[in-house]
Structure 1
Amino acid sequence: MNNLDSYPPPFRPQNNQTHNPDPYNPSSDPNEYPDPVPIIDLRCLKRNPDEQKKLEEACKDWGLFRLANHDIPLNLLNQLQDLARDLFSISFESKQALTSDSPVSYFWGTAALTPKGTALARGPQSINWLEGFNIPLSQLSGFDHQVPLLDSFRVLLEEYGNHLSRIARTLYETMAKNLDLDPETSKSFLSEETGIFRVYRYPANPNADAALGMEVHTDSSVLSILHQNDGVNGLEVLRDDQWQTVKSIPNSLIVNLGDMMQAISDDTFKSVKQSEG
């Protein structure tokens, strides 16, 4: 199969355009930018008041931080990345058919929660230059076990989802403590049943000025936990009216605070503004 067949039709290069055959190749040297993003050590968080204070400051000043020592096996992250690459590599039509009767939804040209027609109606410059899969973690049992690729993905996501739940609970409990929230009441704000796994691909764009990978936005969630593709710098966040590149550093995660966390904290913590691609 021609690799271009895997792209949604509007993302395929025209006659006189060149194409990068591997959209996962880094677009820049990962060592080109400094990394000012605060680092939180998850293993130290529960027992170390200094680490808890660092988390509070990161939530107030950045709305984002890098998570070290998260204890998700590197092999699991690599397997998920490989399977995601396999999923994106099948034809566009196959991706649509694969998810037609599944809890998995496939989207392109717009973020997962934005109606596709809204962006496309505004013209090509409003299209988000991305495609992705949206997977509610509570519905993993609804995967089609007869489709090997999806079933393999389901098995890995069940393990990955357990790790994400562990990480989210640990972080949120510390945040709630820093905010002096009532422990029992605040538990209701973070539900594992609402967890969603999203995986994105940003196709090579021959005209970078024509469209964004993902337009400037804040997340609506309490927390977003991001595993970046190793060596690819695409995420930028707005801090002090300056856009800063968030480096992709192997075996670390990026945690974003969303609009719900800002609301829960009564604006003490901030929902970070970001763009991608």
Structure 2
Amino acid sequence: MSISESYPPAFRRVISDGDPLATVEEVEPVLVQDEDIQIPVIDLERLDKDILREACKEWGIFRLVNHGVPLALTSRLQEISGLLLSLPFETKRELFATVKSPLSYFWGTPALNPSGDALKRGSQASNVHMLEGFNVPLSKLPTFISCDDDHNPKLESFRVLIEEYGRHITRIAVSLFEDIAQTLNLELSGNRRSEYLSESTGLIRVYRYPWRSDKAAGEALGMEVHTDSSVISILKEDETGGLEIMKGEEWFCVKPVANTLIVNLGDMMQAISDDEYKSVTHRVKKKNRETERHSVCYFVFPKRDCGIKSSNYKPFTYSEFEAQVQADVQSLGTKIGLPRFSPNSPFFN
């Protein structure tokens, strides 16, 4: 089987021919820098709250070292998820449509509904985003019913690995949130902490960004410019690179570093902090044509009925925020996010 057969049909035209009907057009709002940028480094074993406060306030993103996730686990997870993503496209669609599990397969857009299915994007959206992946809600993994060995035994291996990885990454998210709350002097009871950061909402998305032939024009935009809707997002990527962040009015590349994690703050953390901390604007542009890019990202959110109050936004619950994001994606083709709730924004509802 040719590797291109594992990609969705819309990807194959871009990969082989650079079909302009399937490529992504993007207007650059700011200068694009080719240089790498050194983001702050946080040592989880010897956490310095002053460094953490500055990273959250000035950057909204940092690199985590000494995080305690075994290298053997992340290597094996990348191997097994890579094998699953390399299955023929129709096989993946059939496997995740028929197996009795909470896992779902998506492609062509990073915008998903709560069930993990790709949202239908508005007419103003770009045609294709060069990525595909699996969506895994961690709290629902115990309901997973593995398929017969004759069907695909790797799916059960994937479940075991992602469950173990989820335990590690959830531990990290809870610990970091508590440390960040202390830097904000937020006095959180146990109940309030679990409302702002609800472990039950944690989900993992495994992404694959395809290679492209030399005939395909332009760079592959795998993930459009956006902020995460989460409280905290934690990324484990391979050595290919492609993550870019906006710092000031310019774009910079975040170079991969082995055995580290990338942590970025999402919209909910920005709102909780009353805009003292920032939800970092980022995207993925894969410049290396000859290799695929693989990454694993964990997202965690408030409880759906958790009320978010801030002097800069009208009061809202996370479910209201999520519904507004989905409505904007489906009608406008893109996420608006927090400006929808800011009286000082032209997007205010």
Q: What is the distance in 1 between the residues matched to 2:196 and 2:244?
A: 27
Structure 1 match to 2:56: 59
**Structure 1 or 2: more helix by fraction:** 1
Counterpart of 2:209?
A: 202
Structure 1 counterpart of 2:65, one-letter code: A
User: Aligned partners of 1:14 and 1:75: how far apart in 2?
Assistant: 34
Aligned to 2:158: 153
Counterpart contact for 2:16–2:212, Cα < 8 Å? no
- Equivalent position to 2:77, from 63, 71, 80: 80
Matching of residue 11 in structure 1 with residue 32 in structure 2:
no
Give the SS at the match of 1:159. helix
> Relative to structure 1, is the Cα distance of residues 33 and 52 closer, same or farther in structure 2, using a 3 angstrom cutoff?
same
Does structure 2 retain, via aligned residues, the 8 Å contact 1:176–1:186? Answer: no
Greater RCO, 1 or 2 (C-alpha within 8 Å, sep 6+): 1
- Give aligned pairs, total: 256
User: How far 1:132 sits from its partner (Å)?
Assistant: 1.1
Amino acid at match of 1:177: Q
Distance 1:242-1:79 versus aligned 2 partners, 3 A rule = same
1:14/1:246 Cα in 2 relative to 1: closer, same or farther (>3 Å)? closer
The CA distance in 2 between the partners of 1:34 and 1:260, in whole Å, is: 27
How far has the Cα of 1:211 moved from its partner?
Answer: 5.6
Name the CA shift for 1:127/1:13 in 2 (closer, same or farther; >3 Å). closer
| Distance in structure 1 (CA, Å) of the matches to 2:274 and 2:227 | 17
1:205 is displaced (CA, Å) by 3.6
Written as runs of structure 1 = structure 2, the 5 A alignment for 1:1-277 is 1-13=1-13, 17=17, 33-45=35-47, 51-101=48-98, 102-113=101-112, 115-118=118-121, 121-122=123-124, 125-146=126-147, 147-184=152-189, 185-206=192-213, 207=216, 209=218, 212-229=221-238, 231-277=239-285
- Structure 2 unaligned runs (5+)? 19-33, 286-349
Structure 1 residue 35 displacement after superposition: 4.1
Q: Percent identity?
A: 50
Distance in 1, Cα, partners of 2:15 & 2:270: 47
Is the contact between residue 110 and residue 127 of structure 1 (CA under 8 Å) also seen in structure 2? Answer: yes
**Residues 127 and 211 in structure 1, CA contact (< 8 A), matched pair in contact too:** no
Residues 178-214 of structure 1: CA deviation (Å, up to 9, x unaligned): 1111121233211110001001111124535376211
Closer, same or farther: CA 269–155 of 1 in aligned 2, 3 Å: same
Q: CA deviation at 1:250?
A: 0.4
- Alpha-carbon distance between aligned partners in 2 of 1:15 and 1:227, rounded to the nearest angstrom: 25
What code does the residue aligned with 1:253 have? L
Shift in CA distance, 38/271, structure 1 to aligned 2, threshold 3 Å:
same
In structure 1, what is the Cα distance between the partners aligned to 2:119 and 2:181?
36
Instruction: Check whether the contact 1:33–1:247 (CA below 8 A) recurs between aligned residues.
Output: no
Letter in 2 for 1:162: R
Question: Is contact 2:137-2:203 (8 Å) kept?
Answer: yes
What is the Cα deviation at residue 15 of structure 1?
10
- Mark the CA change 1:208 to 1:139 in structure 2 (over 3 Å): closer, same or farther: farther
How well do the aligned residues superpose, as a CA RMSD in angstroms?
2.1
Q: CA deviation at 1:141?
A: 1.8
Counterpart amino acid of 1:117?
A: K
Structure with the largest fraction of strand: 2
Matched to 1:188, the amino acid is E
Give me the TM-score of the superposition, normalised by structure 2: 0.69
Unpaired runs of at least 5, structure 1: 19-31, 46-50
1:2 is displaced (CA, Å) by 2.0
Contact in 1 for aligned 2:43/2:64 (Cα 8 Å) = yes
- If the length of structure 1 is used for normalisation, what is the TM-score? 0.86
Residues in 2 aligned to 1:52 and 1:237: alpha-carbon distance in whole angstroms: 23
